[in-house]
Amino acid sequence: MARERLIVIGGVAAGLSAASEARRRNPSLEIRVYEAGPDISYSACGLPYFVGGQVREAGSLRVHTPEFFRSERNIDVLTNHEAVELSAHRRCVTVLAPGGAAPDEVPYDHLVLSTGARPARPDLHGLDLGGVFHVHSLQSTLALKRHLDSGQARRAVIVGGGYIGLEMAEALKAAGLSVVLLDRSPRLFEAVDEELVEVIRQELVRGGVEVFTGAPVAALAGDAQGRVRRVHSEQGSFEADCVVLATGARPRTKLAEEAGLQLGAGGAVAVNEYMETSAAGVFAAGDCADTLNLVSGRRTYVPLGTTANKQGRVAGENAAGGRARFPGVVGTAVVKVFDLEVARTGLSRREAEECGYRTAEATIRAAARARYLGGRDILVKLVADRATGRLLGAQMVGPEGVAKRIDVLAAALHARMTAEQVYQLDLSYAPPFSAVWDPILIAARQLLHALKGR
């Protein structure tokens, strides 16, 4: 009798989490992972730090090899194998192996789609010039690093002011380049509200980055050798011998869409809490799948490594016969901008109001730890539902004490706590770590005043 077969398409965060969890659940299951590229199991979130030199070797970002999965977990991982067609009703996938071999039609009993995301490609003249890069995979980042190490790049332009754009601004400055950041939006970094944006902008300028908002790029211009030399935008024309496109990510869903699977939020594959798609026996996880925002109650698209790994584990367990759940996310994220930590969770004021909430908010500055021990101020903003007092979101920025404090408020969002309940939290205190009144508690008290109209 043939063993049941699980096919996983995609071999980075979600895919290998799914395969590993399926193996734990069912030791006798045949598990095969197809990865279109040459790399598996690496830290995509560490790529900017490799560009900036904090990570010396690309190999440090690699976690496991295909040989590890074969020998240690009995999982067959095949790189440079591209899945080009999925037939959900026949339960088979067509795979192209390297070297020009004929397409192979592989049957499956269960399938996990973890095809990830692709970089959003703006409609611009000059994108194919030499010196233009995305930072979305290990190979694309290696290409950028080779360009930087060649000594040909002195002036960089970053297109996009989101998470990757902010991280790459610091990375390219650390690599010794002059840096211009162009964001088409009227304001920088729309993941947070206006109060925090100005602090971020000032830090970028302090770090030597020229920042232009309301600056959509019109075209890239090159020289006779086909290398990028200038970026034209509505805020001016800028010299460049290196351009990094940080214009966001889109779910990679071509395979699912052509197979007739239902798409959901953000154009990602629609899944339920069990990571099941609209096709029997097919699960999806990671940057190609949608999820539920636990604060708004709406479906959303959140391409983050934390979400991908959790969704992958749920998909893998259920593909192997389990019934695990992934309830959703509250949208927690953090980014380093030179000496600042910038974090957010839940809904911003704008997002909350778009969901129909009448909001109350409070923004405070307070020391992250005792000032007599060198404590410096952080900015904390909280947003609540005026009707119920329920916390809806939080944002923080500051030079210390931000990245992990946001997790307290993420936990409060999961628990659907009110501003009053947040204010009553028994948080730790010692002068090296916090003031006697933690910034979270100060902000919660101010939020209570706002809710009461004081």
Contact (CB, 8 A) for 329 and 292? yes
Q: Where do the DSSP E strands lie in 91-186? A: 92-96, 104-107, 110-113, 117-119, 132-134, 155-159, 178-183
Identify the CA nearest to 252 among candidates 136, 117, 82: 117
3-state secondary structure of 177: coil
What spatial distance separates the first Cα and last Cα of the chain, rounded to whole Å?
A: 73
> Measured between alpha carbons, how far is residue 300 from residues 17, 265, 287 in Å?
21, 5, 11
C-alpha 451/C-alpha 362 separation (Å) is: 9
Catalytic residue among 45, 92, 242, 288: 45
C-alpha 64/C-alpha 311 separation (Å) is: 20
Identify the CA nearest to 435 among candidates 370, 374, 343, 381: 370
Contact (CB, 8 A) for 330 and 293? yes
DSSP annotation of 101: P
Phi, psi of 195 (to 5 degrees): -60, -35
The strand pair at 236-239 and 228-233 is best described as: antiparallel
C-alpha 343/C-alpha 399 separation (Å) is: 12
Identify the CA nearest to 110 among candidates 203, 31, 198: 31
Angle at CA of residue 446, ends 425 and 188, nearest 5°: 100
Q: Where do the DSSP E strands lie in 89-199? A: 92-96, 104-107, 110-113, 117-119, 132-134, 155-159, 178-183
92 is catalytic: no
Which residues lie closer than 8 Å to 131 by C-beta, 6 or more apart? 147, 152, 153, 227, 228, 240, 241, 242, 243
Contact (CB, 8 A) for 300 and 293? yes
Catalytic residues: 45
